[in-house]
């Protein structure tokens, strides 16, 4: 026995305790029932929380699965550095699927609008196939989007990676069923029932490290489509878009070519939580140009095998 300190027991469990226990239950079921799981890890706060939960689910053992990152080549440098540090800290194997490689050798071509989010799907599916992963953990939450609100915790993908919303398995009690035909795979979303506010409350409680761009910092930005966009090699202002230096932070981390920042003074977790409590915009509406293409943008991408 290795007990040094005894944790207090709680007479009444909080929302975070209940969500955490549910997520760990799901993670253990999926790890136990699948041959070759992996975690989709972007360095974004949701995938960071899933990694933290994975580590708790198997403690004191090491996280027994690799992490997969589909790198668009347009990521924020701070996020890539964070990803690599997390891999080191948890002692993980990292599998990178590189959109840039696909563009360089002609398997994919750059879109006219320069965004690479839609190019990720092919790279993701090829990576899954090449490594023979039968289940991928992801950090998707149901409060993010209308299509995600209808997706099961264990979501089946056909051999083309497609999601069929009309043919989802019933998910009853806490009995999960990830069995599938050869060539299919499963996406497992253990934090389906968490909200953005829950995620931040948990990050604060567990003192989870995040990439620095989630907190207010000074950055060169310009305004486009009502969003603040960072000046980066892949996101350049036109002549009519004046560049200013503003205090900003990101609510989601994605492709730098289509992820917007919000003006913010919140440079600590407590301040971020206070800011969110007053926010009048949804996370994706505020900062993701890719989700604004149409109100069915996420639904269409999911059907094609997106995250």
Partner 1 sequence: MPHTLLRIATAGSVDDGKSTLVGRLLHDSKAILADSLDELTRTSTERGFGGEVPALDLALLTDGLRAEREQGITIDVAYRYFSTDTRSYILADCPGHVQYTRNTVTGASTADVAVVLVDARNGVLEQTRRHLGVLALLRVPQVVVAVNKMDLIDWDEQQFSAIVADIEALANQLGLARIHTIPLSALGGQNVVEPGAQSPWYEGPTLLGLLEAIEPSEHVQEHLPRLDVQYVIRPQGALAPGLDAEAYRDFRGYAGTLAGGTLNVGDNVSLLSNGRPAQSQIAGIHTVNGPAASAEAGEAIVLELADEIDIARGDTIVAGALPEPSKELSAEVCVLAERTLRSGDRVLIKHGTKVTQAKISGIEHVLDVLDYSTRPAESLQLNDLGRLSVRTASALAAEAYASSRTGGSFLLIDPVDGTTLAAGFVQDRHVAA
In the region spanning residues 195 to 254, those forming contacts with partner 1, defined by CB under 8 A, are 195, 197-198
**Which residue from 131, 180, 217, 271 is in contact with partner 1, where contact means CB under 8 A?**
180
Can you tell me whether residue 246 is helix, strand or coil?
A: strand
The rounded distance, in Å, linking the Cα atoms of 45 and 139 is: 9
Rounded to the nearest whole angstrom, what is the least distance from the CB of residue 208 to partner 1 in the complex? Answer: 13
The rounded distance, in Å, linking the Cα atoms of 281 and 196 is: 12
Between 1 and 218, whose beta carbon lies closer to partner 1? Answer: 1
Instruction: Tell me which stretch binds partner 1 (CB under 8 A): 118-126, 130-138, 139-147, 211-219.
Output: 139-147
103 binds partner 1 (CB under 8 A): no
185 binds partner 1 (CB under 8 A): no
**Of residues 264-293, which lie at the interface with partner 1 (CB under 8 A)?**
279-282, 285-286
10 binds partner 1 (CB under 8 A): yes
Buried b / exposed e over 285-300, threshold 16 CB at 10 Å, is: ebbbbbbbbeeebbbe
Between 7 and 112, whose beta carbon lies closer to partner 1? Answer: 7
Between 25 and 217, whose beta carbon lies closer to partner 1? Answer: 25
Between 163 and 307, whose beta carbon lies closer to partner 1? Answer: 163
109 binds partner 1 (CB under 8 A): no
Between 5 and 238, whose beta carbon lies closer to partner 1? Answer: 5
CB 198 within 8 A of CB 16: yes
The rounded distance, in Å, linking the Cα atoms of 89 and 83 is: 10
Rounded to the nearest whole angstrom, what is the least distance from the CB of residue 79 to partner 1 in the complex? Answer: 22
| Alpha-carbon dihedral 250, 253, 258, 263, rounded to 10 degrees | 0
Can you tell me whether residue 263 is helix, strand or coil?
A: strand
Between 2 and 238, whose beta carbon lies closer to partner 1? Answer: 2
Q: What is the CA radius of gyration of the chain?
A: 19
**Which residue from 36, 131, 169, 271 is in contact with partner 1, where contact means CB under 8 A?**
169
Helices 15-33, 196-206: axis angle to 10 degrees equals 90
**Which residue from 105, 181, 225, 239 is in contact with partner 1, where contact means CB under 8 A?**
181
Rounded to the nearest whole angstrom, what is the least distance from the CB of residue 62 to partner 1 in the complex? Answer: 5
45 binds partner 1 (CB under 8 A): no
**Which residue from 24, 96, 103, 208 is in contact with partner 1, where contact means CB under 8 A?**
24
Sheet-wide strand order for 94-98: 94-98, 67-71, 37-40, 135-137, 185-188, 154-157
The DSSP secondary structure of 97-125, one letter per residue, reads EEHHHHHHTTSS---TT---GGGHHHHHH
- Number of neighbours of residue 135 by Cβ within 10 angstroms: 23
Rounded to the nearest whole angstrom, what is the least distance from the CB of residue 11 to partner 1 in the complex? Answer: 8
183 binds partner 1 (CB under 8 A): no
CB 136 within 8 A of CB 128: yes
Rounded to the nearest whole angstrom, what is the least distance from the CB of residue 82 to partner 1 in the complex? Answer: 17
**Of residues 148-167, which lie at the interface with partner 1 (CB under 8 A)?**
149-150, 165-166
Rounded to the nearest whole angstrom, what is the least distance from the CB of residue 136 to partner 1 in the complex? Answer: 17
The rounded distance, in Å, linking the Cα atoms of 97 and 118 is: 14
């Amino acid at each position: 026995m290795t007990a040094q300190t005894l944790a207090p027991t709680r007479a009444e469990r909080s929302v975070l305790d209940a969500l955490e226990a549910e997520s760990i239950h799901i993670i253990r079921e999926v790890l136990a029932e699948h041959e070759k799981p992996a975690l989709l890890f972007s360095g974004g706060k949701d995938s960071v929380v899933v990694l933290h939960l994975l580590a708790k689910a198997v403690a004191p053992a090491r996280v027994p699965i690799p992490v997969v990152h589909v790198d668009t080549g347009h990521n924020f440098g701070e996020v890539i550095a964070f990803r690599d540090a997390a891999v080191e800290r948890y002692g993980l194997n990292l599998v990178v699927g590189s959109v840039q490689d696909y563009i360089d050798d002609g398997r994919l071509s750059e879109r006219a609008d320069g965004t690479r989010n839609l190019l990720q799907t092919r790279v993701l599916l090829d990576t899954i196939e090449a490594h023979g992963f039968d289940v991928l953990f992801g950090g998707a939450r149901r409060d993010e989007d209308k299509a995600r609100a209808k997706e099961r915790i264990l979501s089946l993908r056909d051999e083309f990676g497609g999601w069929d919303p009309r043919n989802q398995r019933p998910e009853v009690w806490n009995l999960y069923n990830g069995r599938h035909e050869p060539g299919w795979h499963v996406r497992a979303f253990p934090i389906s029932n968490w909200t953005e506010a829950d995620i931040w409350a948990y990050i604060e409680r567990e003192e989870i490290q995040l990439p620095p761009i989630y907190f207010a910092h000074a950055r060169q930005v310009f305004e486009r489509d009502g969003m603040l966009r960072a000046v980066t090699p892949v996101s350049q202002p036109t002549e009519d878009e004046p560049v200013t230096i503003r205090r900003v932070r990101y609510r989601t981390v994605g492709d730098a070519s289509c992820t917007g920042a919000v003006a913010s003074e919140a440079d600590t977790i407590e301040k971020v939580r206070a800011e969110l409590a007053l926010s009048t915009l949804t996370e994706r509406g505020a900062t993701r140009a890719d989700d604004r293409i149409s109100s069915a943008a996420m639904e269409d991408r999911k059907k094609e095998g997106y995250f």
